[in-house]
Chain A
Amino acid sequence: KAGVTQTPRYLIKTRGQQVTLSCSPISGHRSVSWYQQTPGQGLQFLFEYFSETQRNKGNFPGRFSGRQFSNSRSEMNVSTLELGDSALYLCASRRSGQGGHDTQYFGPGTRLTVL
């Protein structure tokens, strides 16, 4: 079974631009979560989607948004990029998203650099 895939793997943007990152979950997984990892703040939860609905949201500004499609694939968008948005963005999927005991599988991440 293929793992979680993320595209692109690396991205360089300039301040003020916007970016869209894509995540394909493991087949059969309906929950997709996004995390931001930076040296200063560590791993921070962005949001979670389940069956095309945002179920949880972290403490990030409205410039960060996401969506999930009917095939469970997910995208996240960051508008008006700031230097501080430079980070590794990780996507994770799990099967049911309910009950809390199922394993979350992570993709390799997208390394975003904002210049």
Chain B
Amino acid sequence: SQQGEEDPQALSIQEGENATMNCSYKTSINNLQWYRQNSGRGLVHLILIRSNEREKHSGRLRVTLDTSKKSSSLLITASRAADTASYFCATRYFGNEKLTFGTGTRLTIIP
């Protein structure tokens, strides 16, 4: 079964706007990761945030983690058409090496 839920399931915004996606999970984690997937192809790793971190940046990406609420958010600033993809959060438990994926958010950037 999947660990988390992502919200919203789908998001459409104008190019240049910011996009925010949220991920909730159920149990304590070691880290949380975000991935992007284009049209049923392989997943591309975007960013990893450890359980003792609260915020992390990578280029136009900003990820936050709130372990008390068991939630994370991914912010993409100044969106581009090339950002159109599905975005997944994935969690890794302590003592368990597998990744458990959320349900994904389908992001569409309108030129």
Query: Are both chains from one complex?
Result: yes
Question: A58 and B31: CB pair below 8 A?
Answer: no
Query: Chain A residues near B88 (CB, 8 Å)?
Result: 43
Question: A100 and B92: CB pair below 8 A?
Answer: yes
Question: A107 and B42: CB pair below 8 A?
Answer: yes
B-contact bits for A26-41, CB 8 A (1 contact / 0 none):
0000010101010000
Q: Considering the complex, which residues of chain B in the window 68-96 have a beta carbon less than 8 Å from any beta carbon of chain A?
A: 88, 90, 92, 94, 96
Bound state CA distance, A101 and B98, in angstroms? 11
Query: Chain A residues near B99 (CB, 8 Å)?
Result: 33, 45, 92, 104
| A105 close to chain B: CB less than 8 A | yes
Bound state CA distance, A105 and B102, in angstroms? 17
Query: Chain A residues near B103 (CB, 8 Å)?
Result: 42
Interface size on B, residues (CB 8 A): 27
Number of residue pairs A-B, CB distance < 8 angstroms: 65
| B48 close to chain A: CB less than 8 A | yes
The size class of the interface chain A forms with chain B is: 20 to 34
- Name the distance in Å between B64's Cβ and chain A's nearest Cβ: 18
Bound state CA distance, A55 and B92, in angstroms? 15
Question: B43 and A90: CB pair below 8 A?
Answer: yes
Contacts A43-B104, A55-B97 known; 7 new A-B pairs at CB < 8 A: A4-B42, A43-B88, A98-B97, A104-B45, A106-B44, A107-B42, A108-B42
A residues touching B (Cβ–Cβ < 8 Å)? Answer: 4, 31, 33, 35, 37, 42-45, 48, 50, 55-56, 58-59, 88, 90, 92, 97-98, 100-101, 103-109, 111
